[in-house]
Structure 1
Amino acid sequence: MTEMEEDNLPPPNSNLATAPKSHSEDEALQRKHSAMLERLSNLHQTRLAQKPNLELSTPSNESTQSFLNRFNESKLAVDSKLSGISQMIPDGDSSDPGSVKSELDSVVVLISNLEKLVAESSYFLPSYEVRTCLKTISDLKQQLDDVTSQVIPKKKFSFRNKKKGGPVSNPARSDVVDSVVVKPVIGIANVGLSGSLESSNGFRAKENEVLVREFQRDSGIGEFSISELNGCVVKLKGCLRALFVNKLRDCKVYVGPVLGSVLIEEVEGCVFVLASHQIRIHSAKRCDFYLRVRSRPIIEDCNEVRFAPYCLKYNGIEKDLETANLSEETGYWSNVDDFKWLRAVQSPNWTVLPEKERIEMVDISVFENVNVL
């Protein structure tokens, strides 16, 4: 036995003397172990707060089931209304056109409320429920269009000759203007704010067009949707309550302030310039987002998406931003939350857009006065 080993041996008859010391050491180790477990538990709870389990942490009045109950009740109300209206087919002078239009307008309001409900609840809903509800709303809009064409047949379309260079006459309906600028490929559809049933509440199924819509402050604030666009430029001026974006490819979308939520799904190769209180992005590929937002942007199932600060201007945008409580730059545009990335390190699905690659300030005021030909 070496001298070192001898030095490490306990002295003879020392068992009784050293027992209390071993017991004390065990208690110290237990205390350290308990403290470590407590720290790990606190870290876990902090992590859950950052990536909440929505079913557990969501208040009862904001639970998914509560939302679905409200949504289904509203959907049944729309179905009932549409069923009743479909029985009001004009028969000579027996049907009151004013009554029919009033009923149709009430359905528009109900569907608009459904869109608002989804927009306001999107931050805690599972992505599957959001997609399902948006699909249901789209189906209801299609049913509304079908019933409208059934009870109020559209007039036959005819061209009107206009003198070259002459003043543009006001359309028969002052709230809707569909216009085309003479260009070899790209056209402009300029639609005014309207609750009219003859105008769709958004842009759908367009290709290689410039689509413009302006929302007047004194005309109310509504929801809007853009879907199934390819190679289009969309310019929305004024304040919106909610914006729904679905199935866009190689598009550029410039939007004024949104008071509620922006929901984006299935987009690829697009540029978005948006200001909103909440922004949720699902299934986006190779897209750039220039944002001003009052909460962390949420992405799911996205890759190669990049983020930069808001860069839009038009005449009156400062007032619109103030109305929407979006005047202040919060910096949340660079604080993206990837719901499908739970690790502590940076998600590889998004990055901050390098300054040298960012677009300059986009001015859409030039589309305020469009020649209607």
Structure 2
Amino acid sequence: MEAADEAVQADELESRNDTLTMKERLLKRQKARLEDAERRKEAKENHSVAKESVDYFFNTFNGERAAVEELLCGCLGADQKAVAERLEEATSKTVQLQKLLNDSMVFLTTYDQRKAQVALQKLQTYLNETREQAVPKKKFGFRGRTKASTATMEDTAVSPPADHNAVQVEGDPAGAQCGLSNKSDMVLVMTAEEIQKEDVLLSHLSNCKVRLYGTPSTLHLKHIDRCEILCGPVSTSVFVDHCERSTLALACQQLRTHNTENTCIYLHVTSRAIVEDCHGVSFAPYSWAYPNLDEDFHLAGLDPKQNNWEQVDDFNWLAAGTPSPNWTVIPEGDRKTTWDP
């Protein structure tokens, strides 16, 4: 009888244990379902927030872009004062558009980033073309403080900005543009006082060393061969076209490089660099230094701590997940750190 009671008690205990185990399983399943539902809810909310952010970005971006295009269209037939005001406003809005894009990179897909960057590039081209049509072109004038153009690089040492033996260019009295062109085998220097936030053009230079101090508004490099060009912080964009076998040190908001081969670019850029129709282009961080560089970064409105030098978009290579063969990163051991003798 006693054995039978023990057996009954054992059965009851096992039954209770089974009941507890079943309850625990049910509670665990319920907890897992609640956690899964919470994760799905959070993911849905995050997706909704991201979609709202993307929608807000493109609505704002497209609206501001249309406003810039309207300003540029209004330049046709307007007087010079009105044109200057419209161009200034259009330039300011374009800079703000780039800042909006930079700030939105965290939630934009790579495709959306490229789509916006292409649109911004077309807008910048439209702005530049309108400026060139509306503003009389500068007549370049060079001071006589230069050696003969047939002098060799060995005959001329790299000069500091105050050295009057170096070539310097006259600034444009009308404020249109300043620069250097059609020079070979020379050291060329422009001071901060000469640049004064102007648009700077360097064109048709061969085997030259160029030093640009201060803060240009924009910088255009065209038809550059075997040159070393070092430039202080540029307030907006740098445009490189038909450059080969050269070394560039550039700091800017945007870099657009076209038709360029076998060129090293030491870069500080706050957006993403763009290359198109380029081969053998290599990148490293900006490493040129000179007195007042920090102050020039501030004057140009560039953040010295924000550098996207290795984030390069190749418009000829849009294969996702596959690196472009047209540009590379310069290995640390091969990077140039000393620029002046």
Pair 1:294 & 2:270 matched: yes
Q: d(CA) in 2 for partners of 1:69 and 1:277?
A: 24
Q: Is the 8 A contact 1:119 1:263 kept in 2?
A: no
Greater relative CO (CA pairs within 8 A, separation 6+) = 1
Residue pairs, 1:151-170, within 5 angstroms = none
The equivalent position to 1:61 in structure 2, one of 60, 63, 69, is 63
User: 1:279 corresponds to which residue?
Assistant: 255
- Cα distance change, pair 142–206 in 1 and its aligned pair in 2 (3 A): farther
Q: Is the 8 A contact 1:115 1:223 kept in 2?
A: no
User: 2:334 corresponds to which residue?
Assistant: 357
User: 1:314 corresponds to which residue?
Assistant: 290
User: 1:91 corresponds to which residue?
Assistant: none
1:330 to partner: Cα distance:
3.2
User: 1:14 corresponds to which residue?
Assistant: none
Structure 1 runs not aligned, ≥5 long: 1-34, 36-41, 82-105, 147-153, 155-175, 367-373
1:339 to partner: Cα distance:
2.6
- Cα distance change, pair 252–345 in 1 and its aligned pair in 2 (3 A): same
Q: d(CA) in 1 for partners of 2:93 and 2:179?
A: 17
Q: Is the 8 A contact 1:296 1:332 kept in 2?
A: yes
Q: d(CA) in 2 for partners of 1:128 and 1:322?
A: 28
- Cα distance change, pair 131–221 in 1 and its aligned pair in 2 (3 A): closer
User: 2:72 corresponds to which residue?
Assistant: 71
1:256 to partner: Cα distance:
0.5
Q: d(CA) in 1 for partners of 2:138 and 2:202?
A: 18
Q: Is the 8 A contact 1:299 1:339 kept in 2?
A: yes
- Cα distance change, pair 108–66 in 1 and its aligned pair in 2 (3 A): closer
User: 1:230 corresponds to which residue?
Assistant: 206
Residue pairs, 1:190-201, within 5 angstroms = 190-191=168-169, 194-197=171-174, 201=178
Q: Is the 8 A contact 1:119 1:262 kept in 2?
A: no
CA displacement, residues 63-110 of structure 1 (integer Å, 9 cap, x when unaligned): 3x6544432432543xx55xxxxxxxxxxxxxxxxxxxxxxxx69957
Counterpart of 2:75 in 1: which secondary structure? helix
Aligned residues: CA RMSD? 4.2
1:145 to partner: Cα distance:
4.7
- Cα distance change, pair 234–115 in 1 and its aligned pair in 2 (3 A): farther
The equivalent position to 1:184 in structure 2, one of 130, 148, 151, is 151
Amino acid at match of 1:346: P
Q: d(CA) in 2 for partners of 1:206 and 1:312?
A: 23
Identity across aligned pairs (percent)? 25
Pair 1:205 & 2:176 matched: no
1:133 to partner: Cα distance:
5.6
1:207 to partner: Cα distance:
2.5
User: 2:235 corresponds to which residue?
Assistant: 259
What TM-score, normalized by structure 1, do the two folds share? Answer: 0.57
Q: d(CA) in 2 for partners of 1:347 and 1:247?
A: 24
Residue pairs, 1:1-373, within 5 angstroms = 59-63=61-65, 66-77=67-78, 81=80, 113=88, 116=91, 120=95, 123-125=117-119, 134=128, 137-138=131-132, 145=139, 177-181=143-147, 184-185=151-152, 188-191=166-169, 194-197=171-174, 201-216=178-193, 220-326=196-302, 328-342=304-318, 343-363=320-340
Q: d(CA) in 2 for partners of 1:318 and 1:74?
A: 36
Further displaced range: 306-315 or 122-131: 122-131
Counterpart of 2:259 in 1: which secondary structure? strand
Q: d(CA) in 1 for partners of 2:132 and 2:273?
A: 25
What TM-score, normalized by structure 2, do the two folds share? Answer: 0.61
Amino acid at match of 1:179: R
Amino acid at match of 1:205: N
Q: Is the 8 A contact 1:274 1:290 kept in 2?
A: yes
- Cα distance change, pair 300–125 in 1 and its aligned pair in 2 (3 A): same
CA displacement, residues 178-223 of structure 1 (integer Å, 9 cap, x when unaligned): 521478335732236x441599611223233322111239x85222
Q: Is the 8 A contact 1:118 1:130 kept in 2?
A: no
Further displaced range: 233-242 or 178-187: 178-187
Structure 2 runs not aligned, ≥5 long: 1-39, 41-46, 99-116, 157-165
